[in-house]
Each structure stands twice: as C-alpha cells, then as structure tokens.
Chain A
C-alpha cells in the first residue's frame, strides 16, 4: 500500500492491478487535471460517436440518393471545378495547428514561456482560420446550393433531404469545439506569460494540447465519413 515506487519491469497487468488497488491516486505520474481532461474527452468521444452512428443510420436507411459529396463540396478556382479543395485546405490547416500545439507542449516542459505563447497563439490563429473557412463553406452551401436543415430551398434538389440536418449538426458541433478551443488556447497562452503557472511543471499546456488534438482527431473522422464516403 505504501509502496509508491513506479516499476516498469512488471507486466502491464500486474502494474495496472497494483495501480487500481493502491488506495491512492490511480493514474500514477498523471496530474489530476490531465486525468480529468482525458475523462472529459472520453465523454466527448461518446457524444461525437453517437452523432456519427446517427449519421450512419441515416445513410443506411434513406431510400433516396445521397448527395454526391465531391460535387456538393467542390470549389471553382479560375473556372475549374476542383472537388473538396476547401475541405483539403481546412484539413491541412488543422493538422498544422496540431503540429504547432505539439511544439508548444514541448516548449512548455522546457519552461520557455514566450515560445509557448507564440506557438499557442499560432495554433489559435490557425484554428480561427479553420472556423472562418467553415463559415464560408456553410454560407456557400446555404446560399448557393440551397441546402436547408431539412430539405432544400425551392428549385434546389441534391437528393436525400436528411443531408442538411445531419451535416449541419455534426460539422456545427465540431466547429463549436474549434471555436471554444481557440478561446481556451488564447486564455492559457496569456496566463502562461503572465506567470500564472510558474509554480507548476506547465502541464496545463499539455492539457490544453490534449483538447486541441482531440478536435483534430474528430475532424479526421468527419473528413472520412462526410466528405470522402
């Protein structure tokens, strides 16, 4: 019970049984904030997966043709229609922001506060530009393509009327996560340079990073299921 040394020699099963039964902190070496963030992300995983399963049910039960994604989301550049161009740019922006966030976490553990600040600010800016592009995408779908939360505007018909409802709900919920993440990143970045976390090991940067990487993770699934499937 009082043995707090962390052995890496024993098997994963022995170490897990010992960790859970040690009558103290279960997640050894994990700051409580990080464990809580992981548990929050787990609950968020359930929400997003339930949405995606709902989408799957819609796709499988609908008896009308589903709108063709690569035509709906095509972007016309200099008179040439390029499928999924905007979505590809959004995907690369989000991956880049994940990269800068990973750098910020690394700088945090080296206690380089200004590097953390600028990297987190860059991450927030990339996230904000992602939301901006999503606004553009939505307005294009609503105004040009006539997609409505249920069905289509008069003289517009791309197929199954369920498309708008599930698309706007899931991408909207993800966009909300990105927007909240941008605010979260900026808040933590400012608090880091103001010295709020000087007495800690800057694990707050890693916790913020976990949230941000999760947003990127959800986009991986949305990209595959909504835009490519």
Chain B
C-alpha cells in the first residue's frame, strides 16, 4: 500500500470535475432565478455539501484511505458543529437584547430573501 500510492483511473477525476462544474452552475442558478425562503437555503446548503463531499472524498482521496485516517480527520470538526449551534442560540439572544433594551428596529432582521423582496419592490419590479 505504501509503495502503491493513491492511483485511480483518470476517468473518475474527470467525472467529479464535471460534476463540480454542474453543481456550481446550479448554485449560481439559485441566485440567478432569485429563489427565496427555505427552498433557497436548502438548495444552497445541499449543493455546497455535495461539492465539499466530492472534493474531500475523490480529489483528496479520503474515500480510499484507511478508516483510522478518515476517523482522525473527519470527527474533530464535529466540535465545530456544536460551536455553530451554541453561537446560533447565543446570537438569537444577543439580537433580542439589542431590540428590547437598545431600542433597535426589529424589522430588518437579516434574512437575504426578505432583502431581495425589499430591493425588488423599491426598484418597482
């Protein structure tokens, strides 16, 4: 194994290359067609995770590594998922304190789809 290295048919690289192009094009289309709300977020995240998965699994050869390496590298980032959830809860709280105690306007809570709507309406579309 040590002397063999990671050698795989070139075909699979071309396939993934093409797939990454197609997925990027799709995520661009999500923006181009101004999809909104949960559908927009869902599609963005799905295309993002698919692209990331293909890059790690095929281009970075994770798919063919022994499980010890896969486990050693891919489990620590789970801590980051926990961090993300904790900070999301905290941010929600921070935002509400800014609205309640600092008298900020709660209306423009940042959600990109509503921004779209607003700017589209202003332009008179």
B55–A53 CB distance below 8 A: no
A35–B69 CB distance below 8 A: yes
Given known contacts A27-B69, A57-B90, A220-B52, A65 and B98 CB-to-CB distance under 8 angstroms: no
User: B-side binding surface: helix, strand, loop or mixed?
Assistant: helix
Q: Is A31 an interface residue (CB 8 A)?
A: yes
Within 8 A of A (CB), among B19-56: 20-21, 24, 27-28, 30-32, 34, 41, 44-45, 47-48, 51-52, 55-56
Q: How many residues of A contact B (CB 8 A)?
A: 70
Q: Is A29 an interface residue (CB 8 A)?
A: yes
Q: How many A-B residue pairs have CB under 8 A?
A: 189
Q: How many residues of B contact A (CB 8 A)?
A: 69
Q: Is A106 an interface residue (CB 8 A)?
A: yes
Q: Is B125 an interface residue (CB 8 A)?
A: no
A 74-95 to B, binary, CB cutoff 8 A, 1 in contact else 0: 0000000001100010011001
Within 8 A of A (CB), among B60-78: 60-61, 65-69, 71-73, 76-77
A60–B56 CB distance below 8 A: no
Given known contacts A27-B68, A30-B65, A201 and B5 CB-to-CB distance under 8 angstroms: yes
Q: Is A206 an interface residue (CB 8 A)?
A: yes
B68–A19 CB distance below 8 A: yes
Residues of B within 8 A of A95 (CB): 17, 20-21, 24
By beta carbon, the residue of chain B nearest A28 is B66
Residues of A within 8 A of B115 (CB): 65-66, 68
